[in-house]
Amino acid sequence: MSARIIDGVGHARRLRADLSTDIAEFLARTGVQPKLTVILVGTDAASRLYVANKARACRDVGMQSVTIELPASCTLPELLSVIDAANEDTTVHGILVQLPLPAHLPVRAVLERISVAKDVDGFHMYNVGGLVVGSTVFSPCTPFGVQKLLEAEQIPIAGQNVVVVGASNIVGKPTALMLMQKDATVCICHAKTRDLAQFTIAADILVVAAGRPNLILAPMVKTGAVVIDVGINRLPDGRIVGDVDFESVRLKASHITPVPGGVGPMTITMLLHNTLVAARASVDEAQGTKAPQ
Ligand SMILES: Nc1nc2c(c(=O)[nH]1)N[C@@H](CN(C=O)c1ccc(C(=O)N[C@@H](CCC(=O)O)C(=O)O)cc1)CN2
Ligand SMILES: [Mg+2]
């Protein structure tokens, strides 16, 4: 067997084309251009790249974006006051703080300061709690991208055994909750899981987000499984690889995402989607056509 390679770049391009149309229609109807504020603290090279990619993606689909850069030495009160200003600015619909933050800044206090109605990353505790009860305002972008890829590839989720490897707050846990909400039977494995292979071999859909190159080898994968690799690891030679041994696992899986070019491009696409949803809700609220959230 040789797996179908899920083309995240192509799926992202199609979704972004639809978003461009929707944003143009929204602007023509309301006079409001969706606007995202991105806050970057420090000089981490990968974060700078992702933030620049977010700004370009906004421009490409017809959204406004503002990037606010703060020094790595920035204090918590300074960062919170920048968030407060964006919360109060009625022209701003979405706000995100790029992660990771410098170690001296408490991530939860920062994320909880973002207005729930503008939390387009879906990292605020209110939105995380919404995933548990199945009514979140904004789903986090990478898990949302995983779900969209499965749907676009017409891969059934209900009743499937899903194994998520990695229990981070921004990928593993929300992915598990979102797929459970779609009636999958979900198991989460993490760094302390004993005998990882006994779990992964049972997966109809294996989602890997552990940040360890070559963690998943072919003998750990069921024949015909769908393998979604969320890992992004930069090797010393500069290559970017996922957590899955792509060349061996592709011979066993039915579908597999490449790295790069699989889940990654969907992350920023779902951020654009969430920002449009935030802008629509803000207009509805201003017109009194929808209860405030
Ligand atoms: N506030 C946030 N911080 C972080 C998030 C997030 O969603 N919100 N996710 C990641 C970083 N990230 C977006 O911010 C992100 C990571 C990777 C990609 C992507 O397109 N990856 C490419 C490869 C890119 C490369 O060459 O490095 C791919 O996989 O094809 C987009 C966005 C952590 N922080
Ligand atoms: Mg995101």
Q: Which CATH superfamily is domain 141-265 in?
A: NAD(P)-binding Rossmann-like Domain (3.40.50.720)
Give the burial class of 46: count Cβ atoms within 10 A of its Cβ; 0-12 exposed, 13-18 middle, 19 or more buried. Answer: exposed
Q: How far is the CA of 238 from the centre of ligand 1 (A)?
A: 16
pLDDT at 3: 98
Map out the domains of the chain as residue ranges: 30-115, 141-265
Q: What span, in angstroms and rounded, lies between the C-alpha atoms of 231 and 249? A: 15
Which residue would you say has higher pLDDT here, 136 or 161? 161
Q: Return the closest-CA partner of residue 9 out of 228, 225, 269, 196.
A: 269
pLDDT at 136: 83
167 annotated as ligand-binding = yes
Token pair 């017409």 is at which residue? 154
Ligand 1 pocket member 269 (CB < 6 A): no
Residues 55-80 have pLDDT tens digits of 999 999 999 999 999 999 999 999 99
Q: How far is the CA of 218 from the centre of ligand 1 (A)?
A: 26
Ligand 1 atom closest to residue 261's alpha carbon, by position in its atom list: 30
Respond yes or no: is residue 98 known to be catalytic.
yes
Residue 161 has pLDDT above 60, yes or no: yes
Residues 78-104 have pLDDT tens digits of 999 999 999 999 999 999 999 999 999
Residue 293 has pLDDT above 60, yes or no: no
CB 146 within 8 A of CB 228: yes
Question: Would you give the DSSP letter of residue 220?
Answer: G
Q: What is the architecture of the domain spanning 30-115? A: 3-Layer(aba) Sandwich (3.40)
* Domain 30-115 shares a fold with domain 141-265: yes
What is the rounded average pLDDT of the residues 246-251? 98
Mean pLDDT for all residues in the chain: 97
Ligand 1 pocket member 265 (CB < 6 A): yes
pLDDT at 291: 54
Q: Give percent above pLDDT 70 in the chain.
A: 99
Residue 173 has pLDDT above 90, yes or no: yes
pLDDT bracket for residue 137 (50, 70, 90):
confident
What is the rounded average pLDDT of the residues 107-117? 98
Longest dimension (CA), the chain: 57
Ligand 1 pocket member 211 (CB < 6 A): no
List the catalytic residue out of 7, 35, 98, 147.
Answer: 98
pLDDT at 1: 77
pLDDT bracket for residue 289 (50, 70, 90):
confident
What is the rounded average pLDDT of the residues 112-119? 98
- For residue 116, CA distances in Å to 33, 45, 98, 169 come to 20, 28, 16, 17
pLDDT at 251: 98
Ligand 1 pocket member 184 (CB < 6 A): no
